[in-house]
Structure 1
């Protein structure tokens, strides 16, 4: 096909995907209200969506939040269902319209109650707010909508809420590196940036504009690969942050990490020769050798012939060494099908200790507290087979270890929209934006108009 035909089909299909996404979210909200996800050890609708639809738990939770919010946004839902606005725009809008009742209405109630931090701000009613946001979504890009949403949230968020929401999280990336994400108050964030920049070598640019991070940091890293210059600056900032971490009592106190003071724990597998960090990924053997010079090394021996971890019935509770062995064998997570929990795990006796079951590795399996209670209190079963652990319902029907394969086709999607009389073309999803610069102030005035203070 020609380039113009290719473009037309690409844009038209994008509109069909947006309309299908709206239908998907509407059905998801109804499914959640009916409790259709209950059963088979599923702890929530987001958990069910992650298990059956193949989403990450974070993505599933976000889809469920948007699905619930759309129930209170009829105009936006109508445009979304017609393929006129994208999921990215709808997701951003729902961040300031709430899920059960509109956030704007709550802010208005706070003002009426005389909240001092909001006394200068009046709030448009939810219908007006939805109409303004819909016009913005139809006329602007997803970036425009994000800009306005961030401005609205900054304007009405009281300082104490910012302090309460402070957080620091991390996770290990696929290549083994650690990814940090922090939420700080504006003043604390500025202090951290200033401290890091003060330690960056003078050859690096001193200041760079910091753009707000999107929801999915991994996706941002893959979509916006930095160039060589940005790589060098980012690496220097990482070194500066580590300098702050390792420094004690100011710059004049000298070296901080003395020999033997590191608290890194390395697990060494005597059978395979591999090594991994406690709570982290595998590391090269040379790295393990370097870390064990100054770290507490916890050696995990898996050789059943020379180093048995079998205690029989001499004790009921699993030992720390057995827990470490189970963590390696069971992948450091709950083994119940579809469960992604990796914290607060229990070592469950497959054959209960009271019924003659030994406290041996072969009779233990890691499960989370939720599914541990499910097994004991609701009659779910577990047994070991040649293919691994097998879980079954109270009626002894097996719970599949892998969710069924998803099916679908582009033709059936378009046919469904044709029956619904949707006229989706190459321009349906394109906003009415001609390249002019976004001025968010008029939109903010329509959403959050200033209240004139009366004289005392």
Structure 2
């Protein structure tokens, strides 16, 4: 057998080095399918060799606690593929029909894994059901296995996973509803135990978010994010970036409601600490109350937000001013901004008022007042643009006291003022 495997390997190596350009389109496609089938055949053989090694106790004899550890040393594998190979060997050993399907070209290894997982889950579900009617558990499992192998000719591994979740609807419809109810109950209980959400410590300006939610909770989160995830004309953000911005925006909206529970006896808020000299000169970095450091640009941008509270300290650390009320666009002033601007005032942005910040045209840090004539509503995206010196946009009030925007020269060489034509205005 070893000689045959080595000869096969030599032949395969020669073929892999051969030129492919002489192949016709049909032959090229046929060769691709044939090599894919060959890979599945090799996967079955590899799995059988691993199981034989386990039956002989080779991993333990070589000083390894697990088969995966032994495979790592023998094949120089990383931990994840070593565990995958060990699990695949055990899976195929339990399901002889899947081995045959792989060898016959009726399925590939990914499809076989999904079918095996579905059959294992079905075994658990049938045991919970108790009364199965006229059919036995063995009959139902055999029928499910045959059905899913047949479906593998048309469905991908991902699609087979979904079929596996409702396989009883195909092979034993009279049991499907009860089984689904029990399976969903198990999933929800498992999700409830496994749910979690973590934020890493900042590294190079980024914080990694990691979490798992149950299906119900995830649906609620998606419903909240979806309206904020839609791209707008000229939007060059990736889908992941749009979701990240949407999550931040949802939290900003929650902070604005004033309905979040108090923390430490104070309303939910973000404190930003900036040295007094740096603040008056519009220079220097800032630190949030979570210990994260921010650039001077970010600090100035956050200083415009009516729901973020600055904490200004003198050189000795004494508190000089905590959120001067005249800086905050609240109450009647905020309502007046809503009425005047109708939403984000940036040219033709369609964001509504509740998704905007109150931006100081003359920066509060530079002595600008918190008044209707010195404020303009900007969504988070356009707030960033206005605070970016490289972007080159400027804001001023027109003769009618409506905000207008002067574009940078690369947008309009004459820098003709633009207004938002989307929102209805007073």
Task: Point out the structure with the larger helix share.
Answer: 2
Q: TM-score scaled by structure 1?
A: 0.43
Higher RCO, 1 vs 2 (CA within 8 Å, ≥6 residues apart):
1
